[in-house]
Structures are given as structure tokens and as C-alpha cells.
Amino acid sequence: MRIAFLGLGRMGTPMAGRLAGTCDLAVFNRDGSKADPFEALGARVVRSPAEAATGAEVVVTMVADDAAEESLAFGPGGLLEALAPGAVHVAMSTIGVATSARLAEAHAAAGQGYVAAPVFGRPPAAQAGQLWIVAAGPDEPVARCTPLFERFGQGTFLLGDRAPAAHALKLAGNTLLATVVEALGEAFAFGEKAGIPPDTTLKVLNTALLKSPLVEAYGSAVVRGAFEPAGFALRLALKDVSLALRAAEAYQAPLPLGSQLRDRLLSAAARGRGDQDLAALSCLSREAAGLA
């Protein structure tokens, strides 16, 4: 299969690395220096989205935000101009529901396939092929992408033929994730003021109440103050919660906790924590409690 992979950030690099040597692979990144190491792995390094898409059967995009996704697809020399009829664009980036819908409509009008397939997981999971994938789109393009999903992840949830639904669920999940991190920060600060060490609070809560690998991972990062390098940057969580609120308004589905959470994330970003891991959100609770 001829595959093009666009976007070689903290998630895209390990994902593309899992394809290198297994297929005819082309890679593109706006900062070309991140793509150059893939030449040694047998991939073709290309210099534009159009060059990547030319001749590709499947094009995977994994970029940071809607603006980057739209630039790759709609910009001059973008995917829509170069992707062959019947070829598939798989949007694995976390983007807004409206952007995903626009992509679906544009690709359908061009006779191209479109699959929305955002992922849950951090860079180490991407490197190990242990991501969870949420996919939606027409049956045939989704089926064609199944071998890719198996290479990237430990499981795929199929949501039907309405592609934007996958990005809606991804945004809901990331909003829940940020809510959990905020709640952990509050619980740890409360416990610490009561004389309970944060590691003890984490052990009790994740044994007696929650028993979640998510709580273990983020709770441990909070306890250790391990905020760099960011596995999931706080500024990206702010972007995702903001996108979720925008979609929720369109759906008339209120997210009252999400509205408060956006302000908490905005406050943390204003304090210079935007490039730190989402776990740094807990610092606001410690500061408010006079612990920092």
C-alpha cells in the first residue's frame, strides 16, 4: 500500500515510525528537519502535501490543530488538489467537529474518501502501537484503513458512517480527561492541607474508588511534579476543551463543567504553563490552597 504520513510531531513521529519499512511510505512535515531521519528508514521525504498525496492510496494527517489540518487539505498544493479519486484521507488529528464535517463534504465532492480517526494515548503508547482509535466514515474507506489502525493501536471503536462523530467523541474524551486532572489536583491539595501526602491520596483513590490507568498516569505526574516534557501539552487541552464547547453550543448540549474547565486551563496557560503537561493544571489548586 502506498501511504503518505503528514505531521511529525510528538505523536506523528512514532506513528509514522511504525509504518516505516512496512509499506511504500512518504512523509511530510512543515519543519523538514523532522522528516529527514525517515530517509534512513526507507521512506520518501517530500516537500509539500501535494507531493505526498500524489499516487498515495491513503494519506494520514496528524497535526496539532484545525488551522494546520485545513492548510494541509485546502491550502495551495493541498490534499484536495492532489489526492486521486478513490484515495482516502484519514484525519487522525484532534480537530473540531465543524472542520471534520467540512473535510468530509469536500472529499466527497472530489470523489475522494475521508475517514475521521482520532486517537487516545500519549507518545509512548504511539511508539508501542498501543493507541486506542475512534473511527468513523463510509464502510469501504474505513475497511481499507483497518491494517493501519492495527499497526497503530490496540483497538478501534467504529462509530458508523458519519465521520465527524469520531472527532466529537474525541473532544468529549479529552474534556473528561482534563476534568479528571482538575479533580485530582483539587483532591491532592485538599488532602495535603489535611496532612495526607499526595502519593497516599493517589494510592487510596486509585484503589478504592477509580482503578484507572489514566488516574495512575496523571496522578503520578502530579505527585512527582513531572510536567516536562509534555506528553499532552496543557495548551492543546485548552484548544480541545474550547472546540468541545463550540460543538456543544451547535448541538445545544450544555457542558457546564467544560465551561469552568476552559477558564481553569486558560488561567494555567496565562501563568506560563501552556507548554507543560496537562498534569500541571494541578498547580492552580496548590497555589489556591497556599501550598505553592
- How far apart are the C-alpha atoms of 124 and 11, rounded to whole Å? 9
Please name the amino acid found at residue 47: R
Q: Given the residues 170, 193, 203, 211, select the one marked as catalytic.
A: 170
Q: Count CB atoms within 10 A of the CB of residue 26.
A: 24
Sequence-distant (6+) residues with CB within 8 A of 269 are 234, 235, 238
- How far apart are the C-alpha atoms of 91 and 6, rounded to whole Å? 10
Contacts of range 208-215, beta carbons closer than 8 Å, 24 or more positions apart: 214/177, 214/180, 215/180, 215/184
239 is catalytic: no
- How far apart are the C-alpha atoms of 195 and 205, rounded to whole Å? 16
Sequence-distant (6+) residues with CB within 8 A of 86 are 111, 112, 113
Residue 238's closest CA among 263, 209, 206?
263
Catalytic residue numbers, as ranges: 170
